[in-house]
Amino acid sequence: MESIKLKKITSVWIIAVLTLFVASIVLGILMRLNQGGVLHQAPITFYSNMTIHGITMIGIWFVAGMAGINYLMERYVKTSYTANLIALILTVSGVLMLWAVTLIGKFHTAWTFLYPLPLRVMWAQWATPTFLVAMSILATGWLIWGISMMTQVLKVYSIPQVFAWQHFKKDPAVKTPPFILISMITLVGVVTCLLVAVLLMALYFAEYFSKGNFVNDALLMKNLTYFFGHTIANEMLYLGLAVIYELFSEVGGKPKWKTTWYVALAWNFTLIFILTAFFHHLYMDFVQPEGFQIAGQIASYLASLPAAAVTVFSVWVAVYRVKIKWTLTNLLFFVGVAGWVIGGFGAVIDATISNNIVLHNTQWVPAHFHTYNILGNVLFSLGFFYWFSIQFTDKRVSEKLSRLILSLLIIGGAGFLLAFYIGGADSIPRRFSNYPAEFTTARPLANIGAVFATVYLIPILILFYNISKRCLKILFSSS
């Protein structure tokens, strides 16, 4: 059973994530208003905000997923509180440094910090080394956490069992819970991409301090950057899915989902192909050999489509003509799966080489990744946060308020995303602080996006208040 210490630390994670989420949404709205010409920020301010918005969002929803699986994993294996605490301390230190680096130091490479940008110091001198240190601290903390969870699972399940290989035969003696399967597959990806991050930081440090005696290969650095960035952004979704596989049926008052051969197969595909799907970020890099580009397209399909198909199938079977108990938790999960699939579809369109030639670096890109985040992964974690917060209290969000929250999330989210999608289809480039007059639709679309994002912010604030209040109670309670 979950210990008191685990409950408390999970509460801290949740409050921290929600606080940073609200702050980052505000930055996002300011960016959209600036693109719409309502605000007139200096370009450096816009790009510093964009950088910290991107890094924070990726970071918080990654740790939200990790905290979620850590909490639920305690049902199957004993997890390490120390590793969880180290990750928390290092995350807080890293995040504080990153906010200082961008908002005070004006570091503005975008969250992808593509080589050689961090080394072309156009900001406070201290910002580049502090950024590299902050990223190293985060990678170290998360590596410790990830490896620790992997170790605890391996204490109970063997390697073939964690990957559910015995399910490829009939009537396996040991049954791997889907939660363990997906968590482990995700942790392997997480550890791999964090090792990439450590390597990447080491190469940056080497060039930074070598005074020109050591230079990096831009192609290697870009490959490593997306190996890390793309993989972590995807793995955090799978952390959320592990939570859904564990809780969806339980919350609805139904028996737990089971691992079958096709669930095992689909997730094993994800294990392998997610590690090479990042090649689709280099379609425009003519120095990358063609074979890698083709591998990128195939891996993008194989990493996402089978896992999406079995998840949608599982959710569909669980709800279609089945009487289940709907609560805010499983409603958030349900809408989240829909958002994930729609966003994933947008991503697969973009990952297809012939389409990427048109869509590359247009607003189609923020359109699709915001879809599976704001209407996908964020809802997975919010569902978990809400479920966690009501575990220890009788008070629930009323049905009326639940409906309001969901409606505003969907309306706000869909409007915000649609403005990006239409912009993308109209070839409006992404990452512009201001749009020249030639892009006639860019400004109105940005302002429409800002209005809908504000609508999205309302239910987030309600949930923030509601969940944080309960988490604070858990944090300060003695039992």
Partner 1 sequence: MFKNIVLLLLIFGFCNFADAQTTSTALKEETNIYERVYDAPLQVVGQESATFDELYAQRPVILALIFTRCTGICNPFLVKLKESLQFKDGDDSFRVMVLSFDPRDNLSDMHRLAQNLGLEENEQWAFAITDSISELTQSVGFDPVWDSARRQFDHDALLVGINREGYITKKLIGLRERGDLDLLTGSINNVFVPTYRLQNQNMLFSCFNYDPVTGKNKPGLGLIFLALPAVLTASLLISISILVRRSRR
Interface residues toward ligand HEM, by CB under 6 A: 25, 28-29, 31-32, 50-51, 53-54, 57-58, 61, 110-112, 366, 370, 373-374, 378, 416, 430-431, 453, 456
Q: Does 338 bind partner 1 (CB under 8 A)?
A: no
Of 192 and 381, the one with the shorter C-beta distance to partner 1 is 192
Alpha-carbon distances of 229 from 116, 195, 221, 303, 374, rounded to whole Å:
16, 12, 12, 16, 18
The stretch among 14-22, 42-50, 210-218, 233-241 that binds partner 1 (CB under 8 A) is 210-218
Residue 456 interacts with which of ligand HEM, partner 1, none, CB < 5 to 8 Å by class: ligand HEM
Which residue of 14, 191, 365, 463 would you call a contact of partner 1, by CB under 8 A?
191
Q: Does 158 bind partner 1 (CB under 8 A)?
A: yes
Which residue of 26, 199, 305, 462 would you call a contact of partner 1, by CB under 8 A?
199
Q: Does 436 bind partner 1 (CB under 8 A)?
A: no
The stretch among 19-27, 211-219, 238-246, 327-335 that binds partner 1 (CB under 8 A) is 211-219
Which residue of 22, 174, 219, 358 would you call a contact of partner 1, by CB under 8 A?
219
Residue 128 interacts with which of ligand HEM, partner 1, none, CB < 5 to 8 Å by class: partner 1
Of 75 and 469, the one with the shorter C-beta distance to partner 1 is 75
Q: Provide the binding-site residues for partner 1, judged by CB under 8 A.
A: 86, 89-90, 93, 97, 116, 119-121, 125-126, 128-130, 132-133, 137, 147, 150-151, 154-159, 188, 191-193, 195-196, 199, 203, 207-220, 223-224, 227, 275, 286-287, 289
